[in-house]
Chain A
Amino acid sequence: MSQKYAFFLGCVAPLRYPGIELATREVFKSLGVELTELEGAGCCPAPGVIRSFDQTTWLALAARNLALAEAQKTDIMTICNGCYGSLFEANHILQHHPKELKKVNDVLGKIGMKYTGTIKVRHFAEVLYKEIGLEKIKAQVNTPLSYTVGVHYGCHFLKPTKFKQLDDSERPKILDELVEVTGAKSINYRDKMMCCGAGGGVRSRDAATALRMTEEKLKNLKAVNVQMIVDVCPFCHLQYDRSQKDLPGYNIPVIHLSQLYGMAFGMPREKLGLEAHETKFNL
């Protein structure tokens, strides 16, 4: 069965860590899944900031992105928890509140667009786990890895579970299994499900507070001696990667699951965009 998804890039991956974008393209090609371009898509828009400022704008901009994918009759796939959170929740609101859908379509009408609510929003880790499956992924691993890693689920991948229903939010297993299929070992650590600290506009408004939350996480990751952090969100990725230069004593490389798969699938290192990482990746 051929699978196809409209590839939603978001902001942080293409504009800060292009290795995440490229690795995703290559990994899904290897797995036989077609990713179509969402030409002209904009910011999701960011759940912590734009939704905090004005939910009407947030919903209308999300609807524009959803409408671009609907025009292709294709479900959207994101590589970021924030994009997933915004697009998934906006889609849920639009599919369940006809009044909101009408309001949004009055705005979209001004640019000649319309959304009717027929597509689904998927997270790439969900697609990997539920649609492609561990066995098929394992078959592509030609460079088995032996790292010990700490996985960071982030917040908007699984929560609110009431609507997303992907995995348990207190003790999930999706990411641990997705990481271990490469040969790497996922190590449990204290407060594994805690937020990285960046979301909700906290990083931009109060960087010091965000940093203190990140330090809590890093302290717990360091205590179990992981060789790297594996994330599924470019924004958590940025928070861990850039915070460590302000935190003496921490030097744990950070890698997005798509980049880890790129490594395990034998992609050349220079295609993984690791030079954009501030905490140098030298494993």
Chain B
Amino acid sequence: MAKIAEPNPEFTKKVLEGGPGSDTLMLCYQCGTCTASCPSGRLTAFRTRQLIRKAQLGLKDEIMSSEELWLCTTCYTCMERCPREVQITDIIFVLRNMAVKEGFMAEQHKKIGENMLKIGATVPFGEEMKKLRVRMGLPENPPTTVGNKKSMDDFRKVMEECGFDKLMKGGKS
């Protein structure tokens, strides 16, 4: 007999309360404008309308482990065009946060998180780039957390207070 996914109303409630905008989830009437507008969905298996339906039904396990959840580029085109003003991108942020807490996080993404904890930036900073900056007449380090110990300590402290360092070590924080 075919296995039918169990709805989980508790999960839906958590999504609704998950962050600014996610309380619009139940307004969706499944017209599919989002899917039709999605630049990622036209090339991949990502179906925005379907993701929203699954969130309405509380199909937690299907959403949390799905690859498609991470194919949204957060371009906001769906949100702009949604006739019901569902804050779709905001809902996707909430779902992704829940997935990360459950331990679903790509290694490449963990690396970005680690770089943030190290220099306060998303991308690494190497000697070649420092040389180029100096050649152009710019200071070797930009006036940011990069190369500024006190600011970097503050920046890291904010992340630690929010539990971000633990989250990057595997979720369930």
Contacts and interface: CB of A to CB of B under 8 A. Distances in A.
Contact of A160 (B76, B111, B148): B76
A194 B39 contact: yes
A22 B138 contact: yes
A271 interface: yes
B150 interface: yes
Contacts of B39: 194-195, 197, 213, 216
A40 B97 contact: no
B63 interface: no
B164 A12 contact: no
A195 B112 contact: no
B8 interface: no
Interface string A59-86: 0110010000000000000000000000
Given A42-B151, A155-B75, A54 B97 contact: yes
Nearest to A16: B123
Interface in B114-155: 116, 120-125, 129, 132-133, 136-138, 142-146, 148, 150-152, 154-155
A96 to B, nearest CB: 8
A170 B37 CA distance: 12
B24 to A, nearest CB: 12
A54 B75 contact: no
A56 B158 CA distance: 10
A42 B120 contact: yes
Q: In which size bucket is the chain B interface?
A: 35 or more
A22 B137 contact: yes
A9 B158 contact: no
Contacts, number: 219
B77 to A, nearest CB: 7
Contacts of A161: 80
A18 interface: yes
Nearest to B149: A40
Contacts of B143: 9, 37-41
8 contacts: A41-B145, A46-B122, A53-B113, A57-B167, A61-B158, A194-B75, A216-B43, A275-B132
Interface of B: 19-20, 39-40, 43-44, 70-77, 79-80, 85, 89, 93-94, 96-97, 100, 105-106, 108-109, 111-113, 116, 120-125, 129, 132-133, 136-138, 142-146, 148, 150-152, 154-155, 157-159, 161-164, 167-168
Given A155-B75, A195-B73, A270-B136, 16 more contacts: A21-B142, A46-B112, A50-B112, A52-B96, A53-B96, A55-B19, A55-B94, A61-B159, A64-B158, A100-B20, A111-B154, A155-B77, A159-B77, A199-B73, A202-B40, A202-B71
Closest CB pairs A-B (n = 4): A40-B151, A14-B142, A159-B76, A42-B120
